[in-house]
Every structure is written in C-alpha cells, then in structure tokens.
C-alpha cells in the first residue's frame, strides 16, 4: 500500500483487486457498507496489507467500519506505526540475531561474488553486521558491495558514513534503494513535534538512559517528552529496552543517528542548538555540590543513579564538552566532577586524562574553571601517569585557591600533592602536605569530607614504613569518619589496608574478613579497579593458604577486570599473581606467559616500582624451578630498583626482597 495516500486511494485499490463494481467513491459511508457486504460473502479469509504506515488512520477506519464486524475475516498489517485500535495485537519485529545476520550477509555476498570467505574474513563480517545494527536491508545493501570493495573497505566506509548503503536493483522500490531513503520515508510520516524531538536526539549518544532523554527534553520542549518518545518507538525509529539495573534505555540505531545528525543542523537555529545543549548540561548540573556527587558514587542510597551515570558515560563526556564550549563555571564544575567519578569508577583513566588535557587548552574557560580542570587532570594522572606536569598543575591550582580564599579547594589540592609525592615514595613531603591539609580543615572548618581520606593516606605512610600499630589507629579513625558519611569507598579502602596488616602479621582469618568487607563495599559502588585490587589480595591470601580453587576464582576475576581498564599497576599485579597461581598448579608455560605480560605492562607504563615487584615474582618462579642463576639476577635487579626508590623493608616489595635474599645468603 505504499502508493496509497488517502482513503479514496485505498477504496480504488480494493475495487480494482476484488472487482467491486458498485463502489461509490464519492461517499465514504457507502463504500464501507458496500465493502462490508462484499466481504461478508467470503468464507474464512486472510487479508495482508503491506506498508500501511502512511495511511494508518485511514486503515484504522477501514478495519473498524468494514472488517471488525465480520467473523470470517483475519487481517495482518505490516507497518512502521500502529493503527491504534482496541482489537490491534502488535508483534514487534526486531533486528536479526547475530547468527542469522551473519548468514544473510554471506548468502547475499556469495550471490554477487562466488569467492569463499576464510576465517580471517569472519571477524570483519561480524563487525559490519554489528555496525549496521543487524538490519536486514542494511546487511543486503552492504553485501551488494563485495564485488567492488574488500570487506575491510566496506567496514571502513561504514564507520565514516552509511551513504555507501545503496543499490541499483530494479526490483526494489525507490524507498529501499538506499538506507537513507528508507529512513527518510519514515521521517516524512512524522508530525512536527516528532520531527523536532527525533532531530534533537542527535545531541545524545546512540545509547542513553530514558530518564536523561526525557528530563532533558521536558525542560526544553512544550510537549511531554514521554508521549513523543512512545510515538517514535511505535514508529520503529528508536528502541526502548529495560536495563538489568532497573531503568529504561533508549537506543538510536547507528544509521538513524547519522540521518538525524544532518536533520539537527537543518532543523534548529544556532540559538536553539545552544538551548538544547544547555538542557542536556542541566540534567547533570543540578547536582551542584561535590559532596552530593560523592555520595552518589560512594554511598548506598543512590545505586540506581550511579548505574545510570555509568550507562550514560558517553553522554556525560558530551555534556562536559558542551559545558566547556558554553563556558559556565557552575555547570563545568558539576559536570566535570561527575565525569571524574564515573570514569574513575570504570577505570577509564586514559580517556579521562586526554579529555581534561584537551579542555584545559580552551581559551573560552575562565581561570576558575581552568583551575578546577587542572585539579581533576592531576587526580587522574597521579593514578595513571604522574609527572612534573602533574605537580606543576597542582601548584597552579593551589595558588589560585589561596588567592581566592577557596579553603575546600586548598584542602583537595594539598591532599593531591600528598598523593603525588606518595607515588614517588617521597614520604616526608607527602606527610607535610597531608598535615597542612588537616591544618586548613581545623582552622577554617572547610573540607571536612576529605579528613577521612587524608587520615587514611597518612596511615598508608605508616603502613609502608612498617609502623603497623600507628597505621591501624589511623585507619580505624578514618573508618569512623567514612561510616558517618556512608562512604563505601572509604570504608572499603580502610578495610583493604587493615587486611594487609592482618596478612603481614599472619592473621589470615582477619585478613580474609577485611578483604571480603572491602570487596562488598566496592561491589556496591561498582568501582571496577578497586574490585580487581581486592580480588588480587584475596588471590594472594588463598595462595598462601594453598586453597588453589579459591585463589583461582578471585584471580580470574582480577585478570578479566584488569584487561578492561586503563590502570597499569592493577593489570601488572593481576598478571603477576595469576603467574603465581599457575606456578602452584605446575603450569610452567602460563607462568612465563603471565610474567611476560606483567613485565610489558610495567615497562610500557614506566612503573619501576611495579617492575621491581614483577621481578620478585619472576625470581621466586626461577628459584622454585631450579634456575638459581637467573633467579639471583632477577632478585638483584629488583633490589637495585628498590634501593633507587628508597623502598622501606616493611613495604610489600621490601618484605618480598628480604624473603628472596634469604635464598642467596
């Protein structure tokens, strides 16, 4: 019915197909009566009306006035829209499953080019069908290019634009000869409000939480966003699904995303585009205070919101870029803080460092926003890639906060300077900065939420210096502060180190208790890199207790997580302890494999401290397998690094070196 435009064209089509001579096209009511009389004479009959979306209202009237009263008639409609009557039963057609999509591509490609595909092609085909969202038409159009382009070229061009998806087949209607023509067919059937909202969705990523889209558009458009979203869903232009974490998501198909990107530019003026972006930013900037944001990521009460932020991480990155373009200090502060917490929890530090570094260069930013983004950049780079640049930016921030009597900012930066010096094992300067931060808190009454973090970091120094009693007291004091703030991250942090102390005192029962408590906290906050870190500690504990099955359970988790994040010291440690597990199982090839992986990680990240730890694992392995010459060589290399870094004998590395040195006494 793609050529039908109104009720009269439907009547004409039925008159022609069924040779109904007494159909008076001048009266809709008489046509309904004549058609009803004609079809009542049929035995059981099935009608299939194809492509009714452009006349859905007219078809609804036809069904209600002609077919519904008849007992002998059954109807199937294919449409991108519902006809919205009570008797309608909807069967939604979704994209193909990956296996069927793969088979369709190969089948269509072989009809055009008889060559066989090899194993090396299969991965590219899978990427092609995934890129086109498993859409049958898009797959056929992509496969039609195989006699001209290699699979790699097809994929590369699809990553640039979907306009490659076109065909000159004579048996296809015009609306199916290109993918964009098919989408445009649906676009032209939308009303003005639907067109406005669909075009506006170009500001989002392809996958978004429904709440983000709805709240953003409710604050911008006059109509209720949920009504238009439902209509777009019924017209198959977006997909709405339930996420496993109990919220709804909106997916825009990649091809539709490219199409509406062009419509966005033509539909809205520059001021309207800016207003849409402000609405987008506004969803995040309502979380104004840093402590409010930290409660979402650290505590137990906002689990759903935290999950939404994780899901919307790509949108959050866009919101940050928009906020930097528009240059509002308060908006930048809110969005950048949420961005930091989200990507930090996900372990995506490399991307975060690059984003903050790029933002700092924007001339449109005020000095206040530049100070904040420099501070956040430093927080990331301390954990990922600390350098003199990191320290310089922290001092820039500290000077700005001191000039403007921003005591909270001073506390944060002083604490970060303490962290920075800890990374370089400069405990004296670390302690000086931490104590200065506590002094600002005591005198000015600002930054109290950081007190627990600073106490925990001071406890770390005591721990690394072998003063376990003082460390234990400070962890306990910090724990009380974290519990008062419902700060699961802080509780997990202290529990982890209390577990370390118990482990080094051979109190394995309490070590396990503390580690499991920490793991529970981090699983609540979904901080993947911290989960991996505790899994490594549990793996080490169970290796010590010769419980290999338990050790394997946790170390497998640690390795899997470490492969998905950008934190070298987690990745390296996970590989080292997994190598220890393989050694305990006498799986020598995998010991060598995972130690080699760890060595590459630490060398690539220029982490001498991590490299020294890895060399201790390697020395232990070589000694136990009878290669004492190489074992001593690895030990001496680790020992030299430890001396260079002035590592205390009471640290984890110091204890390992002391243990191995006994082999060669």
pLDDT tens column, 249-287:
999 988 888 889 989 999 999 999 999 999 999 999 888
Quick one: average pLDDT of 332-341?
94
Position 175 scores a pLDDT of: 53
Instruction: Between 99 and 139, name the one with better pLDDT.
Output: 99
Quick one: average pLDDT of 179-201?
87
DSSP letter at 97 equals: P
Quick one: average pLDDT of 650-659?
85
Element at 437 (helix H, strand E): helix 427-444
CB 488 within 8 A of CB 524: yes
Place of tokens 């458009």: 221
Position 173 scores a pLDDT of: 55
CA distances from 130 to 102, 141, 156, 254, 411 (A): 9, 14, 13, 10, 48
Element at 74 (helix H, strand E): strand 73-77
Q: What are the helix and strand counts (H, E) for the chain?
A: 33, 5
CB 36 within 8 A of CB 65: yes
Distance CA 534, CA 522 (A): 9
Position 398 scores a pLDDT of: 97
Per DSSP bridges, beta strands 45-49 and 73-77 are: parallel
Distance CA 120, CA 253 (A): 27
586 contact partners, CB below 8 Å, separation of at least 6: none
User: What single string gives the DSSP state of each residue in 468-531?
Assistant: HHHHHHHHHHHHHHHHHTT-HHHHHHHHHHHHHHHHHTT-HHHHHHHHHHHHHHHHHHT-HHHH
CB 466 within 8 A of CB 648: yes
Distance CA 372, CA 332 (A): 9
192: number of Cβ within 10 Å: 8
Position 224 scores a pLDDT of: 87
Position 246 scores a pLDDT of: 86
Place of tokens 């920490």: 518
* pLDDT band, very low/low/confident/very high, at 499 (cuts 50, 70, 90): very high
Give the best-scoring range by mean pLDDT among 128-142, 218-232, 336-350, 623-637.
623-637
Quick one: average pLDDT of 510-523?
97
Element at 342 (helix H, strand E): helix 329-346
Please tell me the least confidently modeled range out of 169-183, 365-379, 391-405: 169-183
Does this model's pTM top 0.95? My answer is no
Element at 557 (helix H, strand E): helix 548-562
Tokens found for residue 347: 């372990």
Tokens found for residue 505: 């005192």
Quick one: average pLDDT of 237-241?
89
Tokens found for residue 153: 């070229």
**How far from each other are the two terminal CA atoms of the chain, in whole angstroms?**
91
Asked if residue 109 has pLDDT above 70, the reply is yes
CB 461 within 8 A of CB 468: no
Q: Phi, psi (5° rounding) for residue 207?
A: -120, 125
Distance CA 451, CA 469 (A): 20
DSSP letter at 178 equals: B
Position 293 scores a pLDDT of: 86
Asked if residue 167 has pLDDT above 60, the reply is no
Beta bridge partners of 192: none
326 contact partners, CB below 8 Å, separation of at least 6: 274, 277, 278, 281
H-state helical runs in 113-253: 119-131, 136-143, 151-160, 179-188, 192-200, 210-218, 225-234
Instruction: Between 426 and 22, name the one with better pLDDT.
Output: 426
Q: Phi, psi (5° rounding) for residue 3?
A: -90, -5
* pLDDT band, very low/low/confident/very high, at 165 (cuts 50, 70, 90): low
CB 320 within 8 A of CB 336: yes
Distance CA 125, CA 104 (A): 11
Distance CA 457, CA 459 (A): 5
Closest by Cα among 573, 572, 569 to 538: 573
Position 64 scores a pLDDT of: 93
Asked if residue 174 has pLDDT above 60, the reply is no
CA distances from 523 to 303, 308, 354, 539 (A): 11, 16, 27, 17
Helix (H, G, I), strand (E, B) or coil at 562: helix
Render pLDDT for 531-564 as a digit per residue (tens, 0 to 9): 999 999 999 999 999 999 999 999 999 999 999 9
Please tell me the number of Cα atoms within 13 Å of 483 on its side-chain side: 8
Closest by Cα among 533, 614, 630, 547 to 576: 614
């Amino acid at each position: 019915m793609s050529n039908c435009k109104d009720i009269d064209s439907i009547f004409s089509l039925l008159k022609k197909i069924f040779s109904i001579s007494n159909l008076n096209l001048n009266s809709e009511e008489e046509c309904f009566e004549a058609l009803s009389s004609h079809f009542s004479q049929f035995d059981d009959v099935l009608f299939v009306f194809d492509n009714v979306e452009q006349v859905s209202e007219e078809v609804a009237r036809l069904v209600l006035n002609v077919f519904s009263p008849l007992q002998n008639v059954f109807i199937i409609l294919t449409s991108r829209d519902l006809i919205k009557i009570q008797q309608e039963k909807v069967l939604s057609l979704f994209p193909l499953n990956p296996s069927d999509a793969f088979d369709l591509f190969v089948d269509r490609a072989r009809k055009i080019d008889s060559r066989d595909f090899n194993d090396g092609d299969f991965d590219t085909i899978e990427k092609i069908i995934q890129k086109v969202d498993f859409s049958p038409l898009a797959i056929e159009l992509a496969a039609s290019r195989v006699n001209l382009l290699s699979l790699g070229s097809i994929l590369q061009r699809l990553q640039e634009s979907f306009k490659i998806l076109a065909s000159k087949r004579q048996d296809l209607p015009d609306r199916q000869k290109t993918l964009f023509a098919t989408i445009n067919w649906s676009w032209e059937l939308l009303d003005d409000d639907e067109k406005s909202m669909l075009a506006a969705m170009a500001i989002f990523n392809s996958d978004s939480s429904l709440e983000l889209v709805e709240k953003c558009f409710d604050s911008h458009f006059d109509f209720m966003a949920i009504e238009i979203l439902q209509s777009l869903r019924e017209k198959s232009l977006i997909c709405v699904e339930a996420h496993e974490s109990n919220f709804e998501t909106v997916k825009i198909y990649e091809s539709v995303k490219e199409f509406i990107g062009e419509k966005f530019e033509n539909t809205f003026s520059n001021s309207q585009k800016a207003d849409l972006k402000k609405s987008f930013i506004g969803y995040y900037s309502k979380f104004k205070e840093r402590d409010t944001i930290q409660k979402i990521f650290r505590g137990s009460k906002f689990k759903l919101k935290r999950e939404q932020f994780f899901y919307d991480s790509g949108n959050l990155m866009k919101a940050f870029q928009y906020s930097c373009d528009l240059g509002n200090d308060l908006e930048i502060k809110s969005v950048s803080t949420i961005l930091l917490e989200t990507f930090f929890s996900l372990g995506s530090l490399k991307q975060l460092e690059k984003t903050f570094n790029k933002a700092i260069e924007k001339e449109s930013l005020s000095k206040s926003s530049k100070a904040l983004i420099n501070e956040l950049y430093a927080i990331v780079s301390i954990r990922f890639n600390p350098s003199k640049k990191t320290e310089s930016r922290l001092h820039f921030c500290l000077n700005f906060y001191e000039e403007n009597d921003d005591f909270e900012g001073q506390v944060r930066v002083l604490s970060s300077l303490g962290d920075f010096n800890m990374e370089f094992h400069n405990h004296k300067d670390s302690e000086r900065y931490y104590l200065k931060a506590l002094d600002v808190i005591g005198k000015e009454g600002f930054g109290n939420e950081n007190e627990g973090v600073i106490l925990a970091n001071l406890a770390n120094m005591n721990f690394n210096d072998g003063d376990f009693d003082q460390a234990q007291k400070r962890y306990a004091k910090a724990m009380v502060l974290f519990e008062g703030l419902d700060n699961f991250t802080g509780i997990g942090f202290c529990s982890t180190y209390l577990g370390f102390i118990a482990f080094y005192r051979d109190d394995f029962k309490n070590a396990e208790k503390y580690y499991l408590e920490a793991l529970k906290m981090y699983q609540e906050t979904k901080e993947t890199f911290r989960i991996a870190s505790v899994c490594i500690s549990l793996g080490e504990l169970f290796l010590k207790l010769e419980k290999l099955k338990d050790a394997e359970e946790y170390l497998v988790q640690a390795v899997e997580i470490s492969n998905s994040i950008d934190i070298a010291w987690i990745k390296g440690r996970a590989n080292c302890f997994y190598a220890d597990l393989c050694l305990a199982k006498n799986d020598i090839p995998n010991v060598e494999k995972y130690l080699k992986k760890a060595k590459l990680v630490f060398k690539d990240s220029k982490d001498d401290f991590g490299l020294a730890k890895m060399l201790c694992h390697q020395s232990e392995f070589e000694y136990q397998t009878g290669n004492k010459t190489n074992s001593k060589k690895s030990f001496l290399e680790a020992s030299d690094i430890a001396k260079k870094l002035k590592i205390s004998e009471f640290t984890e590395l110091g204890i390992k070196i002391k243990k191995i040195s006994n082999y060669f006494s």
